[in-house]
Amino acid sequence: MRVENNLKIEGYELLSQKVYRALKTEIIKGSLKPGTKLSEGKIAEQMGVSRTPVREALKELAAEGFVKMNPNQAVVVSNASVEDVQEVLQIRGVLEGLAARLAAKLIRKEEIKELEKYIDQMEYYAKKNDSLSFSEIDAEFHEIILDICGNSRLVQIRKNLSDQAHRYRIRSLSIPGRLKYSLKEHKEILKALKRKDSEQADRLSQIHIKNVLKNILEHEVEEEDNNKDA
């Protein structure tokens, strides 16, 4: 009896995690935009599950700041505040810089070739103006540098920010003209890594993240001004 109960619990947990991952992916990609109302019933129907795993998934997303559960029980996709964006990207900038600094000392020829392939893919998607595909390759580029850096605690801390950071990455890359500059920044980081220039790799990585933040904040101001004029 105890084994059967454990199996049921395990199966239920997997189901709630399936819903959680599906919703989080759509939020990060921007398919579910800030302010979108999420209905337990509709989600349950679309995913072919009961309301219970959906409810648990929404609670987990709320705890991570991806959705907001209002007192009237309405659940909406959260819109990250300026403070949220600044905090996450400021931390990410420091971590990415340190990872690049450490990686520059350890990087091997085959890893440089791998990063070059990602640069080629970014260039391809930049020409097609495909910001979503570009963002996926962008994320992989930085993950490789993290893996090379050799500091497991740094990797873990950085990966704890991955979902929020990727949400802001997509937000930044969707801004007109940003793909071209982001591509250039990644090329410069790779050049520093090739030269094993730790200081420059650190500096350029931090500048890259500062530009992501700058773009998002400037775009927010533009949107606010446009809304006022409308």
Q: pLDDT of 71-85, one tens digit each?
A: 776 899 988 788 888
SS3 letters for 51-116?
HHHHHHHHHHHHHCCCEEECCCCCEEECCCCHHHHHHHHHHHHHHHHHHHHHHHHHCCHHHHHHHH
3-state secondary structure of 119: helix
Specify the pLDDT at position 187: 98
101-155, pLDDT tens digit by residue?
999 999 999 999 999 999 999 999 999 999 999 999 999 999 999 999 999 999 9
Whether residue 55 contacts residue 43, with contact meaning beta carbons closer than 8 Å, is answered with no
Amino acid at 4: E
Give the pLDDT score at 228.
55
Q: Could you give the strand order of the β-sheet that contains 67-69, starting from the edge strand earlier in sequence?
A: 37-38, 75-77, 67-69
Q: What domains does the chain contain, in order, with CATH numbers?
A: 2-77 (1.10.10.10), 82-229 (1.20.120.530)
Summarised one tens digit per residue, pLDDT across range 151-203 is 999 999 998 888 888 888 988 998 999 999 999 999 999 999 999 999 999 99
Residue 204 has pLDDT above 50, yes or no: yes
Entry pTM = 0.80
